[in-house]
A and B are shown apart, each in its own frame.
Chain A
């Protein structure tokens, strides 16, 4: 399994500002995924990031709000732009690994927007 780290682990931000979350993997991976987990809810896929191409966003998520970068095979960033309190969530990155293409998750970034 891959070892995944995220920075920051948590942050408290003001409304209208932006936060960039970093995800680092200890091995090269093709696909990286970004999820949101709103308080008391399950995980919702935001987008899939493939190195060298534009991220693919799920319904309800747009690039202007959640721009993603994928500069190489071990790193990705997710920016939460123009934040509002409704963006308060845990944001998790994951990678796909192994023959069965299981997803492995980072520890998450706990975001609170005031």
Chain B
């Protein structure tokens, strides 16, 4: 069974500082991995996804994530935080390439950016 663990329900960074949001997954087969962002009072927006191509994945808004199989991790980073990055971020995994993709979400990490 697939699962996702996000370390830290709340993360605070200063504007301009590095953003690091942690995600570890469990999957019995090579997974698809996703990061979604949810701004206040909005739905989820896809930031980036890993689908067994390049292990370093670049997404929107300057975010990127690196798939590390040995560590079963898919941490999200951004070199310099912006005030507009304040939101909740969800890591998700799917390990069912056949049929429909049943996606399992992590519990989310709320990012606060301090001016």
- When A41-B107, A42-B90, A42-B107 are in contact, do A101 and B101 touch as well, CB less than 8 Å? yes
| B68 interface residue (CB < 8 Å to A) | no
B39 CB to nearest A CB, Å: 10
| B61 interface residue (CB < 8 Å to A) | no
| A59 interface residue (CB < 8 Å to B) | no
How many A residues are at the interface, by size bracket?
20 to 34
A96 touches B106 (CB 8 A): no
| A31 interface residue (CB < 8 Å to B) | yes
- When A100-B51, A102-B34 are in contact, do A42 and B43 touch as well, CB less than 8 Å? no
B43 touches A107 (CB 8 A): yes
A108 touches B101 (CB 8 A): no
B32 touches A100 (CB 8 A): yes
| B49 interface residue (CB < 8 Å to A) | yes
A88 CB to nearest B CB, Å: 15
B: residues with CB less than 8 A from A are 32, 34, 36, 41-46, 49, 51, 90, 94, 100-103, 105-108
A sample of 27 inter-chain contacts (CB < 8 A) reads: A1-B46, A31-B100, A41-B107, A42-B90, A42-B107, A43-B44, A43-B90, A43-B105, A45-B102, A45-B103, A48-B100, A48-B102, A92-B44, A96-B100, A100-B32, A100-B49, A100-B51, A101-B32, A101-B94, A101-B101, A102-B46, A103-B34, A103-B103, A105-B36, A105-B43, A107-B43, A110-B41
